[in-house]
C-alpha cells in the first residue's frame, strides 16, 4: 500500500507515541509490582502454600491478654477469631494500640505462625476498624 507523505508522518508519530507510552506504563507497572505491600488476614496466611519472603501487612484483632514485653521487644497475638499468629515487634506501641481492638502491622513472615513486625500502622480514631480487618472478621463470624 502506498501512503501519502502526511499519512506516513502521522503513522510515524502515532507509532512512536504508542511505543513510548507502553514503555512508560511497562516501567511504572514493573516498579509497582516490586514495591506493593499485600494485605493478609490470619486466614489468608493459613491458606498460603508457601511463605512470602517480602514485606506484607497483617491485620486483625490484638488478642486480649496476649501482649507481653521482654528486653524491649513486644510479643502479642493477632487473631481473626479463628486463626492466630504470633507477632514479635521491636519498637514503640502507638496510642491506639489496645488489646481487643484492631491493628494493622507491617513486616515479614518467619513462618506461617510467626510474624516479625517492623511497623505498627497508626490509626486516627479508636473505634475505627480497617475495612480489610472488618471483612475478615465478618467472614469468620458467619462461618462459626
Partner 1 sequence: MAGYIGNLALFFSLIFNGFLIFLLITRIRNNNFKNLKTINFFNNSIFFLLLISFLTLIYCFIVSDFSNVAVYQNSHTTKPLIYKISGAWGNHEGSMVLFILILSLFSFVFVRTKVSEKLKFYTVFFQAILILIFLIFLILTSNPFDRMDPKPLQGLGLNPILQDPLLAIHPPFLYFGYVGFSLVFSFALAGLVTNNFDKSWSKIANFWIILPWSLLTIGIGLGSFWAYYELGWGGYWFWDPVENASLMPWLAATALIHSNIVTLKKDKLHSWTALLSIFTFIMSLLGTFLVRSGVLNSVHAFANDPYRGVYILSTILFITFFSLAIFIIKSPKKSLYGKYYFFQRDNFILINNCFLIFFLSVVLVGTVYPIILDAISGKSISVGPIYYHTILAPFLFVFLFFMSHGPLLSWNKEDKFLQIKNFKIFFPISIVISSVIIFLFFDYKDIILILGLLFSVYLIVSVIFDWVSQKKLSLNFGRLVSHFGFGTLIFAIFINAYLSKEINAAMKVGDEIKIQEFTIKFKSINRIKKENYEEVFGNFLVANKDKKVELTPSIRKYDQPVQFTSETSIKTNFIVDYYFAINLSEFEKDKIMVRFYYKPLMFWIWLSILLIAFGGIYQTFRLRNEK
Can you give the binding site for partner 1, defined by CB under 8 A? 24-25, 27-29, 31-32, 34-39, 57, 67, 69, 72, 74, 91-99, 122, 124-126, 128, 130-132
**Beta-carbon contacts of residue 70 (< 8 Å; ≥ 6 apart):** none
Q: Between 1 and 16, whose beta carbon lies closer to partner 1?
A: 16
Q: Please, what is the minimum distance in Å from the beta carbon of residue 43 to partner 1?
A: 13
Provide the 3-class DSSP secondary structure of residue 78: strand
**How far apart are CB 128 and partner 1 at their closest, in Å?**
8
CB atoms closer than 10 angstroms to residue 87:
24
Comparison of 76 and 83: residue with beta carbon closer to partner 1: 76
Q: Phi and psi of 105, rounded to 5°?
A: -130, 140
β-partners of residue 69 are 74
What is the smallest separation between the CB atom of 84 and partner 1, expressed in angstroms? Answer: 19
Amino acid at each position: 500500500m502506498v501512503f501519502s507523505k502526511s499519512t506516513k508522518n502521522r503513522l510515524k508519530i502515532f507509532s512512536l507515541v504508542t511505543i513510548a507510552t507502553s514503555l512508560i506504563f511497562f516501567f511504572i507497572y514493573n516498579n509497582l509490582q516490586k514495591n506493593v505491600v499485600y494485605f493478609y488476614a490470619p486466614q489468608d496466611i493459613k491458606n498460603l502454600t508457601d511463605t512470602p519472603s517480602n514485606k506484607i501487612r497483617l491485620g486483625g484483632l490484638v488478642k486480649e491478654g496476649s501482649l507481653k514485653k521482654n528486653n524491649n521487644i513486644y510479643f502479642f497475638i493477632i487473631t481473626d477469631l479463628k486463626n492466630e499468629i504470633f507477632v514479635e515487634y521491636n519498637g514503640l506501641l502507638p496510642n491506639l494500640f489496645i488489646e481487643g481492638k484492631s491493628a494493622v502491622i507491617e513486616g515479614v513472615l518467619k513462618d506461617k505462625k510467626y510474624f516479625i513486625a517492623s511497623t505498627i500502622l497508626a490509626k486516627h480514631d479508636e473505634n475505627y476498624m480497617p475495612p480489610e480487618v472488618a471483612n475478615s472478621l465478618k467472614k469468620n463470624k458467619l462461618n462459626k
